[in-house]
Structure 1
């Protein structure tokens, strides 16, 4: 500001402002410059960035736990946050009717580990869950499914089915499909003479086997992610056998720029800013990390319906590297269909 003082004062004097008043205006500007934009914004964002980086580096479990409990927010989905945390050594335990709270929480007994909360499940009413947790706190763990229904008659069948589908009832020694089958046959009307009794109309042995793809599909339908497997795991054997072989996200750092390649992944984010002259930007992910894809306007128009209906895609394009930034300029994409053998 000292270097600008005389210039500012001369300009005001030329416009008929008295020297005394011009000096007061200048001092006001000097005062604002010590805390005003952009220094204050830069300092505050730098502090937030430093604190976030420190916590993520030294306490990654607490960092991701806080972000998961603050959803919906930010740029990254819970799936992306969880996958990144797992790559940094954080372990996750699934939602459990006996151990989970509403929020995700750090594991008491295991370092760098989180227990997912009921807030991770799609469409579960918070008030019902909180009443159930209060009952569990007062009278202890639930013995079995009938005990849960008997002590929590306010739980709707739809809520119980969401628990079952997410695998939250495994402590009752029931896999998710069996738990859902039992819930559908259970009388949950507390006014009924047959409350908590089952109508055993079909043998549980007739329940179809849950294949790998069925498992992934159920996980994503109930939570939007899986802590057990990434969908690309099911395609990897097939992709490794193709020629040319599809790369993984982790392979891109050592792949020379300008090379044509194939790579497949799950569509995590699609952006098409109005200021980008029709270009689209994809963030894709596989079991090893994430990568960015640029679509030219003509490529986007050609494949825009695939981007809507097929979240798993195989990309054929050219890798470009500049100033440490890696992206793939897409030339062709194709949907990945669920593996027939999974």
Structure 2
């Protein structure tokens, strides 16, 4: 940058890190006094345009007197200003460095306990919990479901590498209800839903709390389906209330002459939920999927399309991501244009996507139900939340993305497979497009014959065409080849390239 900055920036390898370095640089290069340098530091921290314009003029004038040319002085001021957006004084940085070292040590040597504590600290913040659960999976830690038999309020280490999900992270379940369950459990494990209701103070746990526990999987230990437990809630509440009333008034059984014993109502049988319904109920209760993820079976196909996991994206890149819409909202800009915000979840992270009206209009109906949404966009920093945000260039569903990106489909068939050439020809002619077709016939254990279909018979990889081909060759193995994801939008210029071209040398 400048030889006079070498003594100031030597300890940080030429990079401005501390606020004191900003002040020293202003003193050395532009002749600022200590008081003036502190005013510069404050102005940079508050980011007031009028004050920064005034300070820039003072800096450039002082630098000129010390022999710096205007371009060089301006570039140095820009670097100082950029640093000040997120800079600390040296003592503050040292304190944070110590905490960073301590937490890194705990995470490395006591990962199970550390992650349980971190999850407990942020269990009211769904987005953070989702990211930390993905980190637990990466670290080889297993999150076991919440349980009225074994769980407590907090996330808790169990066994060798397990973390028990905290009851306090279940939405609709208050701390008073949790404490009532823990108090009653001291007498021994609960036998069933009716036993729990007989022993827990019904003034502290209501129907909503019970359903939240069931939907979250906290009563799975009894081996009864969640659907049956939900169907049995009313009868169990009524019978337990009657038992508690009788016990409170010390009524005796007319038949035995002794205090009435609890008699469980007959279970209400219901058809078990599908995996999709189970996961949907978990998301409504916990804010995320716990026992699985609807996208788990789609990961390989989506990766082949060129999607990047939400947990792996970084600022300044153009990426294609895929996820389920777990939250949405919209507002209007100062000009009156509609702007949409979608929160995507892919099981490994969450990300907010900003979609402007023209992009939204082109997308049509996407993001409804449990179908993933694909978004091609530019990743940038979110100054409000401190995380990342994606500005959408294109929004589409999986079928549309495959149709636009597929360059070739290869079908591998056994030699005994029946595939009538005239039927295949009819399908290809019915759905003309840009996707080439290749056939691989396995003649023997080590012999494979490859047939290349004429380019004039390329087809459109639409859902209808795919269904027709599946009907013709139901036992075939499929392999898709795709073009670059940036072809979804013409003339896409990655952010890092645009920013690199706009930089001014110091």
Q: Same fold by TM (over 0.5)?
A: yes
Specify every segment of 5 or more residues in structure 1 that has no aligned partner in the other structure, as ranges.
12-36, 338-342
Q: Distance in 2 between matches of 1:130 and 1:229?
A: 28
Q: Does 1:263 align with 2:321?
A: yes
Could you tell me which residue of structure 2 aligns to residue 135 of structure 1? 184
Q: 1:156 aligns with which of 176, 195, 206?
A: 206
Residue number among 233, 249, 266 corresponding to 1:183 in the alignment? 233
SS of the residue 2:245 aligns to: coil
Partner residue in 2 for 1:16: none
Q: Deviations over 1:22-59 (max 9, x none)?
A: xxxxxxxxxxxxxxx61222222222233333333333
Shift of 1:292: 6.3
Per-residue Cα deviation, 1:192-246 (whole angstroms, up to 9, x for no partner)? 699955665x961xx2332121111011122122332123114447x459xx735
Question: SS of the counterpart of 1:77?
Answer: helix
User: 1:332 aligns to what?
Assistant: 394
Kept after mapping to 2: 8 A contact 1:313/1:333:
no
Unaligned runs of 5+ in 2: 1-19, 37-87, 247-252, 254-259, 381-387, 400-506
Number of the residue aligned with 1:38: 89
Cα 1:125–1:335 shift into 2, 3 Å: farther
Matched residue SS, 1:227: coil
Determine whether 1:114 maps to 2:172. no
Q: Residues 124 and 169 of structure 2 are in contact (CA less than 8 Å); yes or no, is this contact kept in structure 1? A: no
2: distance between equivalents of 1:98 and 1:10? 64
RMSD: 4.8
The alpha-carbon distance between structure 1 residues 59 and 283, as it changes in their structure 2 partners (threshold 3 A), is farther
Partner-residue secondary structure (3-state), 2:394: strand
Question: Is the contact made by 1:64 and 1:85 (CA closer than 8 Å) also made in structure 2?
Answer: yes
Residues 1:47 and 2:98 are matched in the alignment: yes
| Deviation of the 1:263 alpha carbon | 3.4
Q: CA deviation at 1:118?
A: 1.0
Query: Using a 3 Å threshold, how does the CA distance of structure 1 residues 195 and 216 change in structure 2: closer, same or farther?
Result: farther
Q: Residue 57 of structure 1 aligns with which residue?
A: 108
Q: CA deviation at 1:284?
A: 4.6
Equivalent-residue separation in structure 2 for 1:43 and 1:318 (angstroms): 37
| 1:224 alignment partner, one of 270, 287, 290 | 287
- Equivalent-residue separation in structure 2 for 1:132 and 1:180 (angstroms): 18
What CA distance in whole angstroms lies between the structure 1 residues aligned with 2:141 and 2:197? 34
Does the Cα contact within 8 Å between 1:103 and 1:117 map onto a contact in 2?
Answer: yes
Q: Give the secondary structure class of the aligned counterpart of 1:222.
A: helix
Q: How does 1:1-342 map to 2 (within 5 A)?
A: 8=33, 38-71=89-122, 76-107=127-158, 109-110=159-160, 112-137=161-186, 139-154=187-202, 155-186=205-236, 187-189=239-241, 190-191=244-245, 197=263, 200=266, 204=269, 207-236=270-299, 239=301, 245-249=305-309, 262-266=320-324, 284-287=344-347, 289-290=348-349, 295=354, 297=356, 302=361, 313-317=372-376, 330-334=392-396
Cα distance, 1:268–1:53 mapped onto 2, change above 3 Å: farther
SS at match of 2:294: coil
Matched residues in 1 for 2:367 and 2:224: separation?
36
Q: CA deviation at 1:94?
A: 1.0
Relative to structure 1, the CA distance from residue 142 to residue 327 in structure 2 (aligned partners, 3 Å threshold; closer, same or farther) is closer
- Residues 63-117 of structure 1: CA deviation (Å, up to 9, x unaligned): 321122123567943122112211111111111111111111111x32x221112
Q: What's the counterpart of residue 30 of structure 1?
A: none
- State the shift of 1:136 in Å: 1.6
- 2:323 match: secondary structure: strand
**Change in CA separation of 1:158 and 1:305 when aligned onto 2, cut-off 3 Å:** farther
Question: Residues 122 and 250 from structure 1, CA distance in 2 versus in 1: closer, same or farther, beyond 3 angstroms?
Answer: closer
- SS state at 1:188 partner: helix
Q: CA deviation at 1:61?
A: 2.2
Q: Shift of the alpha carbon at 1:297?
A: 4.6
Query: Residues 166 and 176 of structure 1 are in contact (CA less than 8 Å); yes or no, is this contact kept in structure 2?
Result: no
Cα separation, partners in 2 of 1:40 and 1:284, compared to 1, 3 Å: farther
Distance 1:318 1:144, change over 3 A: closer
Distance 1:64 1:300, change over 3 A: farther
**Aligned mates of 1:157, 1:252 — CA distance in 2:** 41
CA distance in 2, matches of 1:281, 1:143: 46
Alpha carbons of structure 1 residues 41 and 172: separation in structure 2 relative to 1, 3 Å: same
> What is the Cα deviation at residue 290 of structure 1?
4.3
